[in-house]
Amino acid sequence: MVKVGKKVPDVELLLTGGRETRLSDYRGRWLVLYFYPKASTPGCTQEGKDFKEAIYKFRRQSTRVLGASRDSLKAQERFKEKYEFPFDLVSDPEEKLCEAFGVIKLKNMYGRQVRGIERSTFLIDDQGVLRHEWRGVKVKGHVDEVLETLKQLKKG
């Protein structure tokens, strides 16, 4: 599992548009990688909209944004298109990326325990090193906190 201060694993990614890439392809720029439980649900939609609203602030910091969930590529593409997200979404139905970042947790749903994604965000520097993580994220105000932390870390 990832640890702050260590390089993140070079996991293969399947992006919206059907493009395949790797985490290492993002080296040279900072990366915000956020995990959400399920496309097109209220909290996940709001989080995506918040990142969309702040995208130019992240771009001014030479930082890319990627959202990830276990949803199928088709579901991710519909989600991105419907809300016009200006960043790619990762389809991870086999949970390789989720496992690498340790975001799969047992959750209670309607009185039963189910495996699901714990809403989490990871800030990775231009060398592929994890600089900050947020686990058990609450959506409200989160994107602003990520942006502020990014600015502070880049100042040194």
Annotated catalytic residue, options 15, 23, 32, 44: 44
Annotated catalytic residue 44: yes
Q: Which DSSP category does 7 fall into?
A: B
The first and second tokens of residue 56, run together, are 């130019």
Q: Kindly tell me the number of DSSP H helices and DSSP E strands found in the chain.
A: 5, 9
Q: Across-strand partners of 32? A: 65, 123
d(CA 26, CA 22): 8
Positions marked active-site: 44
